[in-house]
Amino acid sequence: MCKKEISVRGSEADAETRCRHYHSERDRIAIKFYCCGEYYSCHSCHEELADHEAEVWPAGKFDENAVLCGACRNELTVHDYLSCHSICPSCSAQFNPGCSLHKHLYFEVH
């Protein structure tokens, strides 16, 4: 499968979007930040590299692509990502289930 060419910004980011902050085998997603439309490996990378404050995805925009699988480069909507049970629906790569602890940093959740 040919990987899409989508740029991901990150501190020491590898080919599957892992960065120096999150680099386990299953840390293979990037988030498109709502504020700038740029993919970053994680919230800490955005904080270090962007020249602005992060904004979370509003609940009314959860049908837009906002998450990138680092394994196959498939883009997921926020809804798809939040309901995928930490497995890419396109290639079945496992995502880190611990990322759900940080979803409030990326998405408007209650």
Instruction: Check residue 85 and give left, alpha or beta (phi > 0: left; psi -120 to 50: alpha).
Output: left
Residue 43's alpha-carbon distances to 6, 20, 39, 67, 107, in angstroms, are: 18, 12, 10, 13, 11
Query: Is the pLDDT assigned to residue 2 strictly greater than 70?
Result: no
Q: Return the DSSP state at 44.
A: H
List the chain domain ranges.
8-105
Q: Using one digit for the tens of pLDDT, what is the confidence trace for 47-105? A: 999 999 999 999 999 999 999 999 999 999 999 999 999 999 999 999 999 988 999 99
Residue 1: pLDDT over 90: no
**CA distances, 13 to each of 23, 29, 50, 79 (Å):** 9, 11, 15, 25
Question: If you count them, how many residues does the chain have?
Answer: 110
pLDDT tens digit sequence for 3-52: 668 999 999 999 999 999 999 999 999 999 999 999 999 999 999 999 99
